[in-house]
Structure 1
Amino acid sequence: MTHKIIQDSQSGPTVCGLFSGIGGLELGFHLNGFHSQLLCEIDPVASHVLKVRFPGIELVSDVRDVSSLRNADVLCAGFPCQNLSSSGNKIGISGTQSSLVDEIFRLLESNHPKWVVIENVRFMLHLNQGEAMRRIVDNFEQLGYNWAYRVIDSQSFGVPQRRHRVYFIASRTEDPRNVILSDDSIRPEALKDLTIEEPIGFYWTEGAYAAGLNRNAIPPLKAGSTIGIPSPPAICFPDGLVGTPDIRDAERVQGFHENWTKPAEEVAKPSIRWRLLGNSVTVNVSEWIAQKILRPIPYDASKDRPLDKKWPMAAWSIDKQRHESFSSDWPFNSRMAQISDFLRHPIKPLSVRATNGFLSRAYKGNLKYPKGFLEILSNHSGSK
């Protein structure tokens, strides 16, 4: 299957995408009847994927060359996170890549979409005392926008990946709270339990100070690692198998069709597909946002309080009056997805070298691991 985006007509609401990556935000909107007017992506490999998956749609490389949003109803922009991520260089919003968020405000001075949707890493709420969020919300308010944001875990949407991201919605004419804040549930208590009786996802590239341990789910797919390469997370199974998932299974965990990133192999090494996925947006969350824009649900703000100095997990501003929201990171009480249900292709056993590297870091660090977890890895590597 080619999985191309086919737009049968130009009727209906429209979308422009900046910093589109492989089209996670845009795909979610397309699945709800929106039509893409423009895509913008400077990475040549991601851009090639967009050309194949969104044929016939105008594609611009450099966001600084975009002068018009084509009267789109929605602007989507997952601006670069390299300077904001906890695994990045932590320079902050003034870094050469993440500062490109200012291009959004340049365009909004003369273009007025009904909605603006931004996605980025949770760490930006805390880095440099929340400098990035201050810059973003100050600019939106100066341009006359109301806004609301919320940290959301992709697991709430039925995928076995614990992935917390900030989703920020702004509008000059509508109430963004009714889009991003008005569905809410409670995180299942079962997520807190970790035993070797069920699969445990973890980062094999780490181990000393962090490992991303997850019960029946993988940690967030990411673009890089502590060893400097884009790589899949690992899974430790109760039967002693330790390995990494197939890229096609990981694509479905991120909400894409299987082989969505396959075109990347036409212009780069196959391993780069992991970086593309790590930089992308969970399509399931994007679908929900598109649905809520079409059919907003009134938000009850009666328990909210004025915003303090720190940026909370969720907040909003109407007429420049900022408040903290108590909406959780878990919009839906959906059935917990099991990582085993997503594994249609064989697991690639983790190499002895990779396993021993993790074990070495784990034994030197101060992390606590589930009873028997390190023993399974030791048996897998043959060191026991």
Structure 2
Amino acid sequence: MGLFAGIGGFELGLQRAGIVTDLLCEYWEPASAVLKKRFDTEVVGDICELRSIPKVDVVAAGFPCTDLSQVGRTAGIDGSESGLVREAFRLIEGASPTWVVLENVPNMLNLSGGSAMTFIADWFEKRGWNWAYRTVDSQNFGLRQRRRRVFLIASRSEDPRGVLFADEVGSPRQRASHSAYGFYWTEGNRGLGWGDGVTPTLKGGSKLGIASPPAVWRVGEEVGQAIARPSIRSGERLQGFHAGWTNVGAKDGARWKMVGNAVSVPVAQWIGTCLVTPREPAEVSRRRLVAGGRWPTAAASIDGSREAWALSERPIAVSRGPSLGALLDQHGGVPLSYEASNGFFTRLQASTLRVRGDFRAALKAHVELVAG
């Protein structure tokens, strides 16, 4: 079952691995409408009003990152939204599933000395659960989006290392050039979010429903088309959903928020496959993890003994399929508006950021064309 289910990225991936969905909980009505359209199961609302959950094997919860994200409020695990993970724990404690799967941003390992990760790890250990977590990047699962997320799996009776740590192929070779590059047009002062052949992480956007999808520079395209932003259909594909997944009546701003907050489907499918058939962990170096120390990118606790594991963010080797430019060709892209492109170019010109000269030239030509 899924708590904080959003638009069902976790659940769709787990279903593709053969795990049946039984009950979904999502508070935000536009996302709830997507769940009701796409899943044949009961969908309920406010987790705080949910008294119990069914006896299931797997509980998945991509709990809110608002208070943990670098671009959020950074209030931490005691914030009003990220702190709702306590409601998930309340329900989990009453149901005792075989597996619990959590997802959140990597900043949870660092913010306030990693207090969020400490709280979660301590909660499970005090109740006799084993746990393992690993940071993985969605671009390593066939998607054209760079999206680093922490996945934690806990179990009272099983070894979660056989799920998250069973696969390891290491970092891929870097290509020298690409036909398209992603960047954040909302930035330009201190960073770009630059992505070689991928977009930077899709974001949820503002609480006012103002969409801020990343932009893409398509090398060699004609002026006016070379600097574009993905359509919402392209955005859905960047997360592993089929194009049109969120098309149930909401406006594009709300749809971008749903997509930006979602769990990448292929990552969830990989986890689901490993949950169905756990294996021996990969042979990599590990070290004892001292309480109070810095949280690494991957770690586990078995019978209360914590270890850091030297694992990459690329568990499996998957072909990315169509290029970023081809994805926009198939599912749509919109030339970046004058206001957006000129604002970005102005900030970039005033900054000390180093960017490719041909990108700067392409951006300048785009601004001049769409101004007119």
Range of TM-score over shorter length: over 0.9
| Identical pairs, percent | 44
Q: 2:238 matched to which residue of 1?
A: 253
Distance 1:32 1:54 in 2: 15
Equivalent runs, 1:61-80 vs 2, <5 Å: 61-80=45-64
TM-score (norm. length: structure 1): 0.90
Q: 1:364 matched to which residue of 2?
A: 350
Cα 1:101/1:330, change in 2 over 3 Å: same
Of residues 320, 323, 343 in structure 1, which corresponds to 2:304?
A: 320
SS of the residue 1:190 aligns to: coil
Verify: 1:288 aligned to 2:270, yes or no.
yes
Q: 1:304 matched to which residue of 2?
A: 286
Instruction: Tell me the amino acid that sits aligned with residue 276 of structure 1.
Output: M
Aligned Cα root-mean-square deviation (Å)? 1.9
Distance 1:261 1:145 in 2: 36
* Number of residue pairs the alignment of both structures matches: 362
Of residues 177, 194, 203 in structure 1, which corresponds to 2:184?
A: 203
Q: 1:41 matched to which residue of 2?
A: 26
Q: 1:242 matched to which residue of 2?
A: 227
- Deviation digits for residues 191-218 of structure 1 (CA, Å, limit 9, x no counterpart): 6x5x6x6311001111111211001111
Equivalent runs, 1:156-167 vs 2, <5 Å: 156-167=140-151
Q: 1:380 matched to which residue of 2?
A: 366
Instruction: Tell me the amino acid that sits aligned with residue 356 of structure 2.
Output: P
Q: 1:218 matched to which residue of 2?
A: 199
Query: Which portions of structure 1, spanning 4 or more consecutive aligned residues, are displaced by more than 3 angstroms?
Result: 225-228
Instruction: Tell me the amino acid that sits aligned with residue 112 of structure 2.
Output: N
Gaps of 5+ in 2: none
Using the TM superposition, give the Cα deviation of residue 226 of structure 1 relative to its aligned residue in structure 2, in angstroms.
Answer: 12
Do the aligned residues in 1 keep the contact of 2:234 with 2:332 (CA within 8 Å)? no
Do the aligned residues in 2 keep the contact of 1:187 with 1:333 (CA within 8 Å)? no
Q: 2:260 matched to which residue of 1?
A: 278
Equivalent runs, 1:82-231 vs 2, <5 Å: 82-190=66-174, 198-224=179-205, 229-231=210-212
Of stretches 219-228 and 35-44 in structure 1, the one that deviates more from structure 2 is: 219-228
Of stretches 126-135 and 235-244 in structure 1, the one that deviates more from structure 2 is: 235-244
TM-score (norm. length: structure 2): 0.93
Distance 2:148 2:302 in 1: 25
Cα 1:34/1:333, change in 2 over 3 Å: closer
Instruction: Tell me the amino acid that sits aligned with residue 323 of structure 1.
Output: E
Instruction: Tell me the amino acid that sits aligned with residue 133 of structure 1.
Output: M
Distance 1:315 1:223 in 2: 28
Of stretches 38-47 and 365-374 in structure 1, the one that deviates more from structure 2 is: 365-374
Distance 1:215 1:226 in 2: 29
Gaps of 5+ in 1: 1-15
SS of the residue 2:280 aligns to: coil
- Deviation digits for residues 243-288 of structure 1 (CA, Å, limit 9, x no counterpart): 011211221120111100001xx2x422211110000000000000
Using the TM superposition, give the Cα deviation of residue 335 of structure 1 relative to its aligned residue in structure 2, in angstroms.
Answer: 2.7
Distance 1:107 1:58 in 2: 17
